[in-house]
Amino acid sequence: MRPMSVQVRGLFTREEMERYNDLWEVGRYLESQGRFDLAQKIQKEIEIVAAPAVEKLMKYENRPNQSAVAAPVIIDNRPKKD
């Protein structure tokens, strides 16, 4: 499974974040069971969930004629589930 970057996850809505986390858990379980064919389908679903946040991030990073303002820093302090 390929995780989404912290910048992308920081732009998720609450519902998108919950769906991402649920899909991630399912995908990791499938990989641990050797079901890489199904994990690949879950990865595609994750990419669909992340698409709106990726578009928002791309719009932010590609703004022309902007002053030299630093990009926002998104910090994810949630405990990691291992």
Tell me the pLDDT tens digit for each residue of 34-82: 999 999 999 999 999 999 998 888 887 666 665 555 666 666 777 777 6
Counting other chains too, the contacts that 66-75 makes at CB distance below 8 Å and 24 or more residues apart are 74/6, 74/7, 74/9, 74/10, 74/11, 75/6
**pTM listed for this prediction:** 0.68
Distance of CA 61 to the CA centre of its chain: 17
For residue 12, the enclosing domain spans 6-59
Q: What is the pLDDT of residue 36?
A: 94
**Model confidence pLDDT, tens digit, residues 1-28:** 888 888 889 899 899 999 999 999 999 9
For residue 52, tell me if it sits in a domain: yes
For residue 82, tell me if it sits in a domain: no
Name the residue with tokens 């990865």. Answer: 43
Q: Count structural domains, the chain.
A: 1
